[in-house]
A and B are shown apart, each in its own frame.
Chain A
């Protein structure tokens, strides 16, 4: 009996849906004003703090059906993608450069460590002053978050290139440019992809936090507005929207990774008869 219930490949999805349903049910019952209060002294307090799933759902429905959300979602998406793209390219370029020039890496080491250790979210208000309340300040914030993650991974990846593979490529006649293209880049790629999953999430954090702190559009702005009037259902709708959005972005990165990293050994490639 237990053997059949044990999580495996086949019932994986069933378990996942089951857990989701349980969470929603718990949320629904716990915040339903018609159910006697368990923790709070008043049945209306729980829905005030945690929202009500049905109202959250109807909020989401209104957003998409009414079309109000698309402009905001688009703004957040553009900010995220720009921060992600610029941060990744810059991290890749500078990571490659410093990885290949250890002397310069030593020179910059304390500055990079310092810049990375700094709590960068604090920079958000400064970026508002520098780049205004539009897209620029959000992209800048996301960039500072994405850049370091990608940079450190590329740097590490370049330094971990197998010396034998490198020597072999040189013996086969590769010049420096060819070494970069045929050895350093592909070798660093596995590290880069490991970092991109984090990076895409952080680009998103940069955009939303930036919007939350000051802007006139974007999902972060919507959440901030709703919080101002204690509209907890809208806040939760925004959070759910952002979560789904982040999962989709991560999934896209995963798909690209699967495409490009076919050469990597994976466990268990035999077929079971």
Chain B
């Protein structure tokens, strides 16, 4: 049984200005994430990656198809999942620490108990001592890490990540990627990881799914990544197998990118 199954999802948006206009971002897309599996989704910008993730989170109702979480059809918010958003998601009126423990507070954990756990998590993402800052007093990368701590402190079984590291510099990024792999290896969560960086996808995942260009996006290829674990993201990039896989997946993607481009020219 998959931890997360997107089953034949179609998402058609209705334009707000012109109720007759339709835009089908995703059509007949199926993606499965096994228990404890790390799956990455890559695809050209605007193809519908965030849309799919919103469906998996239960934030967006698909036009057709359904989303199954541990075998149960999802209704409303996916309470098994933690979500790292692509854009700013911290509450600007809460200090970093209060943001990290927000989920615990919503669950009724008393503050005396939540605060030490929040501080521990801030330290784990390298922000010990930054707990008193408001989001606007943090850098973009620091905010991303606060969001990471905010999500992981709740110990979700499924983690949905939407380009979480694209705002970070290369070094910090690799540190965070390794940290993520370590956390994931420690208690095998199911991860659906979205990125437009193919190297990042290969370095982290068990499986990489390539999406076609929009509109009517759907998966066009799935590649099992048989690189040995544990991996170090910066070292694994230099291995011959990595380069081989990269070559293979990039080949499939490139055709798709060009196809999408030609379609757009015709339209």
Inter-chain CA distance A270–B93, complex, in Å, is 21
| CB within 8 Å of A: which B145-164 residues | 147, 150-151, 154
Q: A172-B102, A175-B106 are in contact. Are A167 and B85 (CB under 8 A)?
A: yes
Nearest B residue to A260, CB-CB: B93
Inter-chain CA distance A169–B5, complex, in Å, is 24
| B220 contacts A by Cβ under 8 Å | no
Nearest chain A CB to B66's CB is how many angstroms away? Answer: 19
Inter-chain CA distance A168–B87, complex, in Å, is 10
| B136 contacts A by Cβ under 8 Å | yes
Residue interface mask A158-194, B partner, CB < 8 A = 1: 0000101101111111110010001100110100000
| B79 contacts A by Cβ under 8 Å | yes
| B89 contacts A by Cβ under 8 Å | yes
Q: A167-B85, A168-B83, A262-B134 are in contact. Are A173 and B91 (CB under 8 A)?
A: no
Q: Is the CB of A263 within 8 A of B93?
A: yes
Dominant secondary structure at the B interface: loop
Q: Is the CB of B154 within 8 A of A165?
A: no
Give the number of residues in A that approach B within 8 Å (Cβ atoms). Answer: 22
Nearest chain A CB to B60's CB is how many angstroms away? Answer: 9
Residues of A within 8 A of B154 (CB): 172-173
Residue interface mask B161-201, A partner, CB < 8 A = 1: 00000000000000000000000000000000000000000
| A268 contacts B by Cβ under 8 Å | no
Residues of B within 8 A of A173 (CB): 79, 103, 106-107, 154
| B243 contacts A by Cβ under 8 Å | no
Q: Is the CB of A165 within 8 A of B90?
A: yes
Nearest chain B CB to A159's CB is how many angstroms away? Answer: 14
Inter-chain CA distance A172–B99, complex, in Å, is 10
Q: Is the CB of B136 within 8 A of A171?
A: no
Q: Is the CB of A172 within 8 A of B85?
A: no
| CB within 8 Å of A: which B74-129 residues | 77-79, 81-83, 85, 87-95, 102-103, 106-107
| A228 contacts B by Cβ under 8 Å | no
Nearest chain B CB to A64's CB is how many angstroms away? Answer: 42
Residues of B within 8 A of A171 (CB): 57, 59, 77-78, 81-83
| A265 contacts B by Cβ under 8 Å | yes
Dominant secondary structure at the A interface: helix
Inter-chain CA distance A76–B72, complex, in Å, is 64
Q: A182-B102, A262-B134, A265-B136 are in contact. Are A169 and B91 (CB under 8 A)?
A: yes
Residues of A within 8 A of B85 (CB): 164, 167-168
Residues of B within 8 A of A265 (CB): 136
Nearest chain B CB to A121's CB is how many angstroms away? Answer: 37
Partner of A186, one of B57, B93, B95: B93
Q: A167-B89, A175-B106 are in contact. Are A263 and B94 (CB under 8 A)?
A: yes
Q: Which of A169, A171, A173, A174 has the most CB of B within 10 A?
A: A171
Give the number of residues in B that approach A within 8 Å (Cβ atoms). Answer: 30
Inter-chain CA distance A170–B151, complex, in Å, is 12
Partner of A174, one of B88, B90, B106: B106
Residues of B within 8 A of A263 (CB): 92-95, 134-136
Q: Which of B57, B79, B85, B91 has the most CB of A within 10 A?
A: B91
Q: Is the CB of A172 within 8 A of B79?
A: no
Q: A168-B83, A173-B79, A174-B106 are in contact. Are A186 and B91 (CB under 8 A)?
A: yes
Nearest chain B CB to A188's CB is how many angstroms away? Answer: 11
Residues of B within 8 A of A172 (CB): 102-103, 106, 150-151, 154
Nearest chain B CB to A171's CB is how many angstroms away? Answer: 4
Inter-chain CA distance A256–B87, complex, in Å, is 31
Inter-chain CA distance A174–B150, complex, in Å, is 13
Residues of A within 8 A of B136 (CB): 263-265
Q: Is the CB of A164 within 8 A of B87?
A: yes
Inter-chain CA distance A186–B83, complex, in Å, is 22
Inter-chain CA distance A183–B91, complex, in Å, is 7
Residues of A within 8 A of B91 (CB): 165, 168-169, 182-183, 186
Q: Is the CB of B89 within 8 A of A168?
A: yes
Q: Is the CB of B106 within 8 A of A164?
A: no
Q: Is the CB of B106 within 8 A of A165?
A: no
Nearest chain A CB to B19's CB is how many angstroms away? Answer: 16
Residues of A within 8 A of B79 (CB): 173
Nearest chain A CB to B114's CB is how many angstroms away? Answer: 12
Partner of A170, one of B59, B90, B93, B150: B59
Inter-chain CA distance A173–B103, complex, in Å, is 6
Residues of A within 8 A of B106 (CB): 169, 172-175, 178, 182
Residues of A within 8 A of B87 (CB): 164
The 6 closest A-B pairs by CB, nearest first: A172-B103, A168-B89, A265-B136, A186-B93, A263-B93, A171-B83
